[in-house]
Structure 1
Amino acid sequence: MSRPLPPALAAHLPTGVLVDGRWRPARSGATFEVEDPGTARTLVEVADGDEDDAREALDAAADAAGPWRRTSPRVRADLLRAVDEAMRARAQDIAALVTAEGGKPLAEARAEVAYAAEYVRWYGEQAVRVDGLARRAPAGTHHQLVLRRPVGPALLISPWNFPVAMIARKVAPALAAGCTCVVKPAQLTPLTTLYVAEIIRAELAARDLPTGVVNVVPTSSARRVSEPLLADPRLRKLSFTGSTEVGATLLAAAAPSVLRTSMELGGNAPFLVFEDADLDAAVEGAVQAKMRNSGQTCVAANRFLVHASVADEFARRLTTAFADLVLGHGADDGVTVGPLIQRSAVERVAEVVAQATDGGARVRTGGDAPDRDGYFFRPTVLTEVSPDARVVTEETFGPVAPVVTFDDEDEALRLANGTPFGLVSYAYTRDVGRVMRLAEELEAGMIGINRGMVSDASAPFGGLKTSGLGREGGELGLEEYLEPVYVAL
């Protein structure tokens, strides 16, 4: 059944390229289709930007860089406050877009909008709090001044799974710091980004601020946009969220220009349940950590490492919780699990589940794709899983919870850290001493203790090892768009 966008929303939805404060078609006239993953039907066609569009967008960002850098922090803060208020006022429309193009249940989509707006609010508050330093040198011969100034025009490449949160988490600190930007939204979910970009464009215009501060180039080929920009010496910053493989390619392309880079890459999050854990709380946290966006998040719990003494009971309770989830189109009432983003995602999840079961794993619930329109896979719990199974060693990006047992804390840490990734780890225990040991020993940039959610606009988000470089969120997220300049007086 087709589910078109509400007419009132579709009528005010930009679908072009935003350059220097003006929406227009792609120079080539090309477009690409955006699908509803809950029906596998086309929602709308969007401008398919190319090298010419990308260069014009960077032209605008470079021209606006000086005037925007000289704009007062208070004006930047007021702009972000107005964008925050507009996003909250239009939360229903933005959430409807998130659900339509990404498949999230509406409750999750509304939560994402609130989360995104909090980033805009936070960085609006931080725009007037960029610290410097002034002191007399130890030798007493001169004074030292350390200023922090905007790094320059930035290329912001956002992922498909959090289309409003990611534009907020990247654009807000860039604008607060005084950087202009070119945004490359995800091909699968560009509509939400375009809608929010129009909010920002309108607020800039209302204040007679530089029109090229935020530019957006949707495209069906990320390389077609990123390659010419990364080779342009006017670009001084790259922020990317996506897979480790693509991130490594972008880092190589950014190296000749020695660009400042922020990389939020892949994960393989362990979810540890110790023998003293509150199992009801652990199951609640497991569902939260695993099933947001049907498991399609970089911080999704990917491996459930459970002490052997409580593994059977934990698996029983988790199976019951997963079986109670309601699978369906995100716009329908009562749905708690939406579709995967595209057909290839369903095929990959089915493949790793089949490989696990061929190796002896037991399906406790789910394990297959239902026969219906859209790209769905049932919430799945696997037990008796080999630690070497792909569903454990690779980032599944789907609604599958493999349970692996351990016998003691040392083995739990060895299993948890036995991956090239290090984005987030979760652990449930009531032992305060163990909590401190885990905080010291877990190889992850973020650690959730007795909770299944770690993200917060005021806290640094990012990972270790191949999970990335730099941080988004909090004070450190602002630092990513600033460079220190030392002046000897």
Structure 2
Amino acid sequence: MAIATVNPATGETLQTFEPLSDEAVEERIARAAAAFDSYRLTTPQQRAVWLRAAADVLDADAKSVAELMTTEMGKTLASAQAEVGKCAKALRYYAEHGEQMLQPQPADAQAVGAVEAYVVHQPLGVVLAVMPWNFPLWQVMRFAAPALMAGNVGLLKHASNVPQTALYLEELFRKAGFPDDVFQTLLIGSGAVERVLRDDRVVAATLTGSNAAGQAVATVAGDALKKTVLELGGSDPFIVMPSADLDRAAEVAVTARCQNNGQSCIAAKRFFVHADVAEEFTRLFAEKMAALTVGDPMDEGTKVGPLATESGREDVERYMADAVEKGATVVTGGKRVDRPGWFYEPTLVTEVTPEMGIWSEEVFGPVAALHTVADLDEAIRLANEHVYGLGSNLWSEDQGERLRFIRDIQSGMAFVNGMTTSYPELPFGGVKQSGYGRELTEVGMYEFCNAKTVWIGPPSSQQGEGDTAAAASE
């Protein structure tokens, strides 16, 4: 894929970029490594000042940055504005709480025969971030805010269709006052990632993206014995039981499926509805899906914009054709919108079976697949049969059902009477083929820290022979 800004609402190529040469990449890695040598010695208090400044810059740039994201990948302007606000919130969250997160954590010194014992979390070094286009600011900020607060240095390889957003992120941290080269954007293709990751000066990597991309990065990192955090695909279940508020559940289901024009790893994609309420829920769901306004993402009234790429829409059409051919029923939607750009109708499909690709694969578009179940046990069993385990949703007022869902669903996140989303205050990540590791809160910060054990013994004059013998036996 060329490194270019292509407006998905029109199909027009607005700007193209030359990828960095090997020599330029080498120079940037060298600069990042040199920056880490001094940046790691800055205090958490100083880093917090820079993070707050970055949030202020984002606030000032909110309108232009939101318009840039909408132009590059097609999310509605309202969604883009909310994304900018969420990023500013994350920056301020780590500015406020990061210093406390990085305080030494005391251990039981007496139990280990020490005068003092504790754990310190120290930065690892230069971290490569390989990020997708669907939340072009937020995906990066989930990594950047905690990593920079911890004292790490970042190299960003962003998706090739959001180059201007990628360049803005480098500018953002520079304008906020961070030292030179602490955060750099690499305009490179996917084929250049392995060379960067294998460089000895790059100590770890984080990737959000497809399973194929995750496998490629994990393979290289494993061969080089480097730490990785992977957030990969998702096909989140959305389970509706008879005790649920059906109207509210249907309303949230539409948002959960069509957020970001249906292009979200944590979007609800598979809907398991109890037979007792399936007919009513399907009616409500279909009505609300059909009422969504599809159009120019810059327009205030638009609820669903275009898919980000032409190939993405072709993938959705392929899944739909396969499902219909194998017996699925299209309740609403089901085809592209007749206008320039890569638009697709919000779609609800029922009578979905395991033979269809839409059952077992992630559909990255506003297409919901609904299946009727006899009880919660069946819903959980079907949900867990999938290779992914990112988020999950249950709608129920029954406490027993809630507890069973939380206990038995195989996912990194479980949301009851709400849709899966991300917060700086909560860990974010999945299990199974949805990846490993966590982002956000202190857990995400510690992913790229060395949890260093510190043991301080008594003066030599106070140590007996027994202490020496005990230590030698370990």
Q: For structure 1, list consecutive stretches of 5 or more residues without a partner in the other structure.
A: 1-30
Alignment of 1:316-465 (within 5 A): 316-465=283-432
Alignment of 1:7-86 (within 5 A): 32-86=3-57
Alignment of 1:64-463 (within 5 A): 64-129=35-100, 130-134=102-106, 135-140=108-113, 142-204=115-177, 210-219=179-188, 221-224=189-192, 226-463=193-430
Measure, in 2, the Cα distance between the counterparts of 1:161 and 1:315: 28
Question: TM-score when scaled to structure 1?
Answer: 0.90
Contact 1:302–1:392 (Cα < 8 Å) also in 2: no
Change (3 A) 1:139 1:381: closer
- Give 1:469 shift: 1.1
Measure, in 2, the Cα distance between the counterparts of 1:433 and 1:410: 12
Contact 2:258–2:267 (Cα < 8 Å) also in 1: yes
Count of residue pairs the alignment pairs up: 453
Query: CA-to-partner distance for each residue in 1:109-158, whole Å, 9 max, x for gaps?
Result: 11111111111111222331113234424153553232211011100111
Measure, in 2, the Cα distance between the counterparts of 1:456 and 1:345: 28
Q: For structure 2, list consecutive stretches of 5 or more residues without a partner in the other structure.
A: 457-474
Contact 2:413–2:428 (Cα < 8 Å) also in 1: yes
Measure, in 1, the Cα distance between the counterparts of 2:419 and 2:105: 39
Measure, in 2, the Cα distance between the counterparts of 1:101 and 1:438: 39
Measure, in 1, the Cα distance between the counterparts of 2:405 and 2:394: 8
Measure, in 1, the Cα distance between the counterparts of 2:442 and 2:175: 27
Measure, in 2, the Cα distance between the counterparts of 1:317 and 1:137: 63
Q: Which moved more, 1:64-73 or 1:452-461?
A: 452-461
Query: CA-to-partner distance for each residue in 1:442-485, whole Å, 9 max, x for gaps?
Result: 00001111112431121111001111111111111111121111
Q: Which amino acid aligns with 1:93?
A: S
Measure, in 2, the Cα distance between the counterparts of 1:230 and 1:197: 19
Aligned to 2:471: none
Q: Which moved more, 1:226-235 or 1:68-77?
A: 226-235
Aligned to 1:471: 438
Contact 1:67–1:210 (Cα < 8 Å) also in 2: no
Query: CA-to-partner distance for each residue in 1:65-122, whole Å, 9 max, x for gaps?
Result: 1110000111100000000111012111111011100101111111111111111111
Q: Which amino acid aligns with 1:290?
A: R
Contact 1:54–1:228 (Cα < 8 Å) also in 2: no
Aligned to 1:6: none
- Give 1:305 shift: 0.7
Measure, in 1, the Cα distance between the counterparts of 2:87 and 2:46: 21
Change (3 A) 1:169 1:347: same
Measure, in 1, the Cα distance between the counterparts of 2:82 and 2:60: 14
Secondary structure, counterpart of 1:382 in structure 2: strand
Contact 1:55–1:228 (Cα < 8 Å) also in 2: no
Question: TM-score when scaled to structure 2?
Answer: 0.93
Which one has a bigger Cα radius of gyration?
2
Aligned to 2:467: none
Q: Which amino acid aligns with 1:281?
A: R
Contact 1:87–1:196 (Cα < 8 Å) also in 2: no
Q: Aligned-residue CA RMSD in angstroms?
A: 1.4
Secondary structure, counterpart of 2:438 in structure 1: coil
Q: Which moved more, 1:449-458 or 1:262-271?
A: 449-458
Measure, in 1, the Cα distance between the counterparts of 2:362 and 2:310: 17
Secondary structure, counterpart of 2:272 in structure 1: strand
Residue identity over aligned pairs, in percent, reads 38
Contact 1:57–1:216 (Cα < 8 Å) also in 2: no
